[in-house]
Chain A
Amino acid sequence: MTPNERQELETLLPWHAAGTLGPVDAARVEAALASDQELARHFAIVREEMAETIHLNEALGSPSPRARDRLLAAIDAGPARSPRTPFGAGIARLFAGLTPQAVAWSAAIAALVIVLQAGVIATMLTGERAGQRRATFETASVPEVTPLPRVSAPAPAPASRGSVTAAVPTSASGAASHVLVRFAPDASIADITRFLETNKASVVDGPKPGGLYRLRVNAGGKDELASVVATMQASKIVGFVAPE
Chain B
Amino acid sequence: MVDEPCRAFGRLPDESRTLNALEASDEILIGRIAGGDRLAMQALYARHHVKVFRFVLRLVRNEASAQDLISEVFLDVWRQANRFEGRSAVSTWILAIARFKALSSVRRRKEAELDEEQAEAIEDDADTPEIALQKKDTGEVLRRCLAKLSPDHREIIDLVYYHEKSVEEVAEIVAIPENTVKTRMFYARKKLAELLKEAGVERGWL
A residues in contact (CB < 8 Å) with B: 11-12, 14-15, 17-22, 41-42, 45-46, 48-57, 60, 62-64, 66-68, 70-72, 74-76, 78, 80-84, 86, 158-159, 161-167, 183, 185-190, 192-193, 203, 205-207, 211, 213
Contact present for A52 and B31 (CB under 8 Å): no
User: A205 with B186: in contact, given A71-B45, A187-B18 (CB under 8 Å)?
Assistant: no
Which of chain A's residues have a CB closer than 8 A to the CB of B186?
11
Residues of A within 8 A of B117 (CB): none
Which B residues contact A (CB, under 8 angstroms)?
1-2, 10, 14-15, 18-19, 21-23, 25-26, 31, 34-39, 41-43, 45-47, 49-51, 53-54, 57-58, 66-68, 70-71, 74-75, 78-79, 82, 89, 91, 139, 142-143, 146-147, 157-158, 160-167, 169, 182-183, 185-186, 189, 192, 203-205
Asked whether, in the complex, the Cβ of A164 is within 8 Å of the Cβ of B46, the reply is yes
Q: Determine if A84 and B34 form an interchain contact, defined as CB atoms under 8 angstroms apart.
A: yes
Give 18 new A-B contacts, CB below 8 A, not counting A12-B182, A57-B54, A60-B58: A11-B185, A15-B160, A41-B204, A49-B161, A53-B158, A62-B50, A62-B53, A63-B49, A63-B70, A72-B38, A83-B35, A86-B31, A161-B91, A183-B15, A183-B18, A186-B14, A193-B46, A206-B1
Question: Can you sample 23 A-B contacts with CB below 8 Å?
Answer: A11-B186, A14-B161, A14-B189, A15-B166, A18-B160, A45-B203, A46-B189, A48-B142, A49-B146, A52-B142, A55-B143, A62-B49, A62-B50, A68-B49, A70-B68, A75-B75, A86-B31, A163-B47, A164-B46, A189-B22, A189-B42, A190-B42, A206-B2
A18-B164, A57-B158, A81-B36 known; A164 vs B23 contact (CB < 8 Å): yes
What is the distance, in angstroms, from B131's C-beta to the closest C-beta of chain A?
Answer: 17
Alpha-carbon separation in the docked complex, A190 to B41 (Å) = 10
Whether the pair A75, B78 counts as a contact (CB closer than 8 A) is yes
Q: Which residues of B contact A60 (CB under 8 A)?
A: 53-54, 57-58
In whole angstroms, what is the CA distance A50 to B205 when docked? 16
